[in-house]
Amino acid sequence: MKNFPIPIKEQVSPANQAIFDNLNGMVGFVPNLYAIFAHSDTALSDYLALQNRKSSIRAKEREVINLVVSQVNNCSYCLSAHTQFAKMNGFTDEQILDIRRANIGFDAKLDALAKLVKSTTENRGHASTEALESFYAAGYDEANLIDVVIIIGDKIITNYLHALTDIPVDWPLAPELETATI
């Protein structure tokens, strides 16, 4: 596989340099996966606009979606990053593993969300009727469904970008799940 270069601030456009400065201020560093977006003059700002859009989905729910999609797509980068974000949102290590398995015994509503996300991702948009019905029965509505799909799409973008570039993970590595439990 071609070695995909990770640009530094001096190698990117002025607009991307400003975004790098903002990321440094918010996260303390420019994550490698964000840095590679900066090979394009517009992709990083476009992606961040998508990722930071207003949504009916709460931060904890967003992390459930991010973790489940990244688990289905076997993205070590996103699993590692979102394990850290899930912890910042109050999930324990064991809860994070349950989320990745889409088997959430500690919260029925999040469990319905995780099962819908897993079914949707595994079946390329064609979730099972059962998963969709459980999602609505848990209290989600049509606006939530649309926002869930947008977040799934957001995460697929980064999962695929990592798969294509294989850039180094610069977050603490997420633990592996046993394949029998996924």
Does domain 59-165 fall under CATH 3.30.1360.30? My reply is: no
Domain boundaries, the chain: 9-52, 59-165
What is the chain's pLDDT, residue by residue, as a tens digit (182 residues)? 678 999 999 999 999 999 999 999 999 999 999 999 999 999 999 999 999 999 999 999 999 999 999 999 999 999 999 999 999 999 999 999 999 999 999 999 999 999 999 999 999 999 999 999 999 999 999 999 999 999 999 999 999 999 999 999 999 999 999 754 44
pTM: 0.95
Distance between CA atoms of 68 and 64, rounded to whole angstroms? 6
